[in-house]
Amino acid sequence: MLNPRIISCLLVVLVIGVASAQEDIPQYNPNSVDPIPRYEHLFKLRVWRVIDLNEKQNKGFFSNNGEITRLILKAYNSGEIAFSYKDDSLKQTQTKDEFLGKMVLAEGEMIAAWDARAYYYTGDPVSFNGVNYESTVDNNIGINPSTARNGEWQPTQRGRAITVSPRDITRITIMEDVIFDRRRSRLYYDIQAVKLEFLNENGGFWQALGWFKYKDLEKVFRNHPAEAVWFNRQNTAENKNFADALILRLFKGVIEKIENPDDLRIEDIYTANGRPYFESVWAREWAEIQLMEKEHNLWEY
């Protein structure tokens, strides 16, 4: 029979070991705006949703000159948002040059400066005071492009690099944790990150620019209330801040992926099984219904 003192010592060591192990696991998610401690999680799933900003239901985030993408790019270019990330792990950052390089669809070309002694013909481009012009007549000589009175020159975009504008970025993906809080007995959508994408028409594919921590974006939205405006087409007195609109779920986001051991999108799962694309569309809607059913069952619990 073991000595009671030895048993007591073993129990103390065991308790200390368990306590140390628990301390190693962070109880709060550092990327959450309003973190819910792990011990309050009755249910949790990570979900990726695709938001098409051209859809009517999402137009509030994409009003003319008030696009959510415009504000994000402005904050990133100014340095207010310090980091963008290469993937949704939010571990590997990318440089600003890497990010902006993805927005260039066609490189610019050198345009020769206007020479008052040279002859120019229809279509010839020149550069003058930082603006590119194109000749509209033949034997064009000695006519200053910036003061041409008879339309001998017209401004042109030739030579300029073709870059993506905020209105070209029409798709965002949000990664969020769906958490049922056992203490408050309700479901929370804890947005973790946002990805910006545009349709690259040259290749016919969606080009990802990068991921941003939503915690950084939320701070930008709160700091710029005059620009971060979700537009209410029915009643502009009820316009809201982008952050509040996201909390209130005033958007239509289609589930793209729910966390799984193979880290596959719903479409990938159906494709791998030889199923047609339209079945994966129904599967995404079914996944939404299943989440709603899960919430209902948890309330019953």
Asked if pLDDT for residue 19 goes beyond 70, the answer is: no
Lowest mean pLDDT among 16-20, 96-100, 159-163: 16-20
Taking residues 142-162, report their average pLDDT. 83
The verdict on domain 108-160 having CATH code 2.10.10.20 is yes
How is residue 136 written in tokens? 């509209």
Q: Whole-prediction pTM value?
A: 0.78
pLDDT at 18: 46
Residue 4, pLDDT > 80, answer no
Q: How do the domains of the chain map onto residue ranges?
A: 38-105+165-259, 108-160
Show Cβ contacts of residue 60 under 8 Å, excluding neighbours closer than 6 positions. Answer: 230, 231, 232, 233, 245, 250, 251
Say if residue 14's pLDDT is above 90: no
Q: 238-274: buried (b, 16+ CB within 10 Å) or exposed (e) per residue?
A: ebbbbbebbbeebbebbbbbbeeeeeebbbeebeeee
Spatial CB neighbours of 181, under 8 Å, sequence gap ≥ 6: 36, 40, 41, 42, 187, 188
HEC profile of 71-83:
HHHHHHHHCCCCC
pLDDT at residue 126, rounded to an integer: 87
Mean pLDDT of the chain: 89
Compute the average pLDDT of residues 225-229.
97
Lowest mean pLDDT among 53-57, 162-166, 217-221: 162-166
Which positions ≥6 away from 86 have C-beta within 8 Å?
Answer: 92, 93, 94, 210, 211
- Bridge partner list, 62: 67
User: What is the per-residue pLDDT for 8?
Assistant: 58
How far from chain centre, in Å, is Cα 291? 23
Confidence of residue 89 (pLDDT cuts 50, 70, 90): very high
For the stretch 180-222, pLDDT in tens is: 999 998 999 999 999 999 998 776 789 999 999 999 999 999 9
Residue 26 has pLDDT above 80, yes or no: yes
More confidently predicted of 68 and 24 = 68
Percentage of residues of the chain with pLDDT beyond 90: 63
Rounded to an integer, the average pLDDT of 229-238 is 95
Q: Decide if pLDDT at 59 tops 90.
A: yes
Task: Sort residue 114 into left (φ over 0), alpha (ψ -120 to 50) or beta.
Answer: beta
Residue 114 DSSP symbol: P
Angle, helix 214-223 to helix 68-78, in steps of 10 degrees: 100
What does the pLDDT look like over 277-292, one tens digit per residue? Answer: 889 989 999 999 999 9
**Residue whose token pair is 């952050």:** 243
Query: Which phi and psi angles does 225 have, rounded to 5°?
Result: -65, -25
What number of residues does the chain have? 301
Give the three-state DSSP class for 99.
helix
Would the pLDDT of 60 be above 80? yes
Average of per-residue pLDDT across 48-70: 96
Neighbours of 21 (CB within 10 A): 9
Cα-Cα-Cα-Cα torsion 233, 234, 235, 238, nearest 10 degrees, comes to -70
Of the pLDDT bands very low, low, confident and very high (cuts 50, 70, 90), residue 23 is: low
| Cα–Cα dist 70/75, whole Å | 9
